[in-house]
């Protein structure tokens, strides 16, 4: 009897992301930002892998470079 093995291709890279993905929605003159994922540059530099934890609709997704730890804690 043959056993079927599963492989996962959706493994999160061990290195820090090059960009964080943010869902930006606007209500009136205010913008609300929610982190929805991250992006890593390909080794050949010709593209990015985008991993989303959720898929927002009706708004936009913005990619921004992550802030270093000191900047993040200051907020």
Say if 45 falls within a structural domain: yes
Which is higher by pLDDT, 34 or 7?
Answer: 34
What does residue 71 show for φ and ψ, rounded to 5 degrees? -70, -40
pLDDT of residue 3: 52
Place of tokens 């898929």: 55
pLDDT of residue 58: 84
Say if 12 falls within a structural domain: no
How do residues 15-71 score in pLDDT, each as one tens digit? 899 999 999 999 999 999 999 999 999 999 999 999 999 998 888 999 999 987 544
Say if 9 falls within a structural domain: no
How many domains, the chain? 1
pLDDT bracket for residue 72 (50, 70, 90):
very low
pLDDT at 9 over 90: no
The parent domain of residue 53 ranges over 19-74
């Amino acid at each position: 009897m043959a056993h079927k093995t599963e492989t996962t291709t959706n493994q999160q890279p061990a290195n820090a992301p090059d960009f964080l993905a943010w869902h930006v929605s606007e209500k009136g003159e205010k913008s609300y930002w929610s982190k929805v994922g991250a992006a890593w540059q390909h080794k050949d530099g010709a593209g990015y892998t985008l991993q989303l934890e959720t898929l927002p609709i009706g708004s936009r997704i913005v990619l921004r470079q992550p802030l270093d730890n000191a900047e993040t804690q200051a907020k």
